[in-house]
Structure 1
């Protein structure tokens, strides 16, 4: 099978790029490994309400739906993505997992779960959801309680009556910590002191955060932590949790043991029944490994969404376009730039 352009992934970034390709009249297909529409949103925990979800941004060409604020974000956003696919007649094939990408003289060959695909250009939009990050800590194998990643969190009720240690300083960590604290006791630990934003997150702050991430990827470095750049927003739920003492953060422990977590310097120990690793995700780029794109700094050297070492490949939803707003803006422009490259008139 062949298309001029293959988009890998049908989340926010993939649909934004597909929209741009559709408007340009391109020959393209979107290969999505999921069983249904919604990207990573369809896997968000059921108790995450629409009005508490972090930065839902509209897809290009279609406003966000007027939905019940108390509705599960996973259901509303998945339905919205499905509507976007239908409205613009986007050629999404699923479930099709891309396992490896290799160069050819005139483009790429993709090994997929549905057979071999060839393309002249690629937009990679695989996000991070399929690569939850589990940090290495001494004693993890000794802990007799339950360990799970934030990606596997489904709701607080299952932890009732247990003491839960939540590890991580990101938005999901805070949201899940607050939910769990409403039904049981918790301890919150982070690698560094959280930085709270009392003024919200306006466009100027957004541009400054994007500029810092862009600087890293242009230098061939990994994008780094988004929260490390943006900080955490003080919502009403955060203020209420702080008043209850839930956000009295502790530094990350030195090790786990059979019954909990321990800090060696002051001989402190916290008993735990559950450790929730809300420790983020890494870009899902394993299928691009045969292209050997990694720079000496450990990242992929980028110019906007274009891979410097391979101008026929754009990464949307990576680096400065990793946010939902960034992906929606970057997708159509990546599509236009890629098509110019394939026409051989990038300088035009």
Structure 2
């Protein structure tokens, strides 16, 4: 573990795709990684959250539409027709760090970001697990993986089986021969249903019927539609957005599950859990050994708690030219948490524009001097 400096002009918290993209643009603007700015990451190895995701996860866009700024992801051309697996993404992010000499410091978990004093143009202090760094700007790029969301369901504490979030799930062989209920209507749920159903009796539960995209539509189309919608709204025009397209990309594993008939029966959300399974309002019950919650994530922002920036919705209000600058603390920028910090900014291909705008805003703030804003 490399020791931390006591001071840097800027600190990037997190070395996943958002932190790397922002660091790329800071470097391109002339700041020296490891000197002018430092990148702190809590993980033992590169790749952001990707090494911790389930083993057979696939991107739902080809590599040409899943790349960070500066260097295109190498192609993946196996039987999945170009949808890269998790390991391919980890390798790409690992090489990306090296390619641009981003000097990521790990493992250093950031515990808190505080104001050094009452001076609004003074320093912030980044408290890591081993040291403290004084800085003039903080880019928070910690993503959402460490804050999995699970809805509150009556009787969940009574269920005697195993409850997993998608963040905890690893491989279908671990659940072989068991009765599994998968909860959620998005891409993660569909992919997990597809593979778990090869080894276990699987029931798929969603709040509303899942919407499947046509076989020839993938993440590229979703990103294009989302971008067009936000551009239209900025210009005062109406746009239907992605709603009419569907939600679930038919990657090969999901198509294969459809052909097996696995996706034909989808049950509505149950109302409670029992010691032995789940139950619906009409009295129906389903025995279950395992429930997998594919119910999303919330922004991982605990380190910003001392600044008091989060609103009732759990988000930090952002604005400024970059669209990522905290309204209540302009020395803090947030990148990669979802559309509220930039269109599709939680995706590999979508984080680039907000990372570029954030880096420009950080550099502008540093050049303006302590009295600048």
TM tier relative to shorter chain = 0.7 to 0.9
Whether contact under 8 Å (1:165, 1:276) holds in the other structure is yes
Alignment-derived partner of residue 249 in structure 2: 233
Instruction: Measure how far apart 1:296 and its partner are.
Output: 4.9
Match of 1:28 among 32, 37, 41: 37
- Structure with the bigger percentage of strand: 1
Question: Is the alpha carbon distance of 1:261 and 1:53 closer, same or farther for their aligned partners in structure 2, counting shifts above 3 Å?
Answer: same
The CA distance in 1 between the partners of 2:313 and 2:77, in whole Å, is 45
Whether contact under 8 Å (2:60, 2:251) holds in the other structure is no
Moved more, 272-281 or 63-72: 63-72
Whether contact under 8 Å (1:316, 1:331) holds in the other structure is yes
Alignment-derived partner of residue 335 in structure 2: 316
Map Cα deviations across residues 223-246 of structure 1 (whole Å, 9 max, x no partner): xxx999972223443343234332
Whether contact under 8 Å (1:194, 1:231) holds in the other structure is yes
Alignment-derived partner of residue 227 in structure 2: 207
Moved more, 196-205 or 153-162: 196-205
**Aligned residues, how many?**
333
Alignment TM-score, normalising by the size of structure 2: 0.82
1:246 aligned counterpart, secondary structure: coil
The CA distance in 2 between the partners of 1:180 and 1:296, in whole Å, is 37
1:53 aligns with 2:62: no
1:82 aligns with 2:101: no
- Structure with the bigger percentage of helix: 1
By relative contact order (CA 8 Å, sep 6+), the higher-ranking structure is: 1
1:207 aligned counterpart, secondary structure: helix
| RMSD of equivalent CA atoms | 2.8
The CA distance in 2 between the partners of 1:241 and 1:275, in whole Å, is 19
1:15 aligns with 2:20: yes
Alignment-derived partner of residue 367 in structure 2: 343
1:142 aligned counterpart, secondary structure: coil
The CA distance in 2 between the partners of 1:263 and 1:122, in whole Å, is 47
Map Cα deviations across residues 38-66 of structure 1 (whole Å, 9 max, x no partner): 00111122233xxx323462122112124
Alignment-derived partner of residue 71 in structure 2: 62
Map Cα deviations across residues 239-275 of structure 1 (whole Å, 9 max, x no partner): 43234332221111111111110012x1111111111
Whether contact under 8 Å (1:213, 1:319) holds in the other structure is no
Question: Is the alpha carbon distance of 1:236 and 1:47 closer, same or farther for their aligned partners in structure 2, counting shifts above 3 Å?
Answer: closer
Alignment of 1:1-348 (within 5 A): 1-26=6-31, 27-48=36-57, 52-55=58-61, 57-67=66-76, 69=78, 73-104=85-116, 105=119, 106-198=122-214, 199-201=217-219, 202=221, 203-208=223-228, 231-247=247-263, 248-264=265-281, 266-296=282-312, 298-303=314-319, 304-320=323-339, 321-344=345-368
Moved more, 316-325 or 115-124: 316-325
Alignment-derived partner of residue 238 in structure 2: none
Point out where structure 1 has 5 or more consecutive residues left out of the alignment: 215-225
1:289 aligned counterpart, secondary structure: helix
Alignment TM-score, normalising by the size of structure 1: 0.87
The CA distance in 1 between the partners of 2:137 and 2:164, in whole Å, is 38
1:34 aligned counterpart, secondary structure: coil
The CA distance in 2 between the partners of 1:212 and 1:165, in whole Å, is 40
Map Cα deviations across residues 284-310 of structure 1 (whole Å, 9 max, x no partner): 001101111123554322222222222
Instruction: Measure how far apart 1:34 and its partner are.
Output: 0.4
Question: Is the alpha carbon distance of 1:96 and 1:102 closer, same or farther for their aligned partners in structure 2, counting shifts above 3 Å?
Answer: same
Whether contact under 8 Å (2:60, 2:218) holds in the other structure is no
Instruction: Measure how far apart 1:70 and its partner are.
Output: 6.8
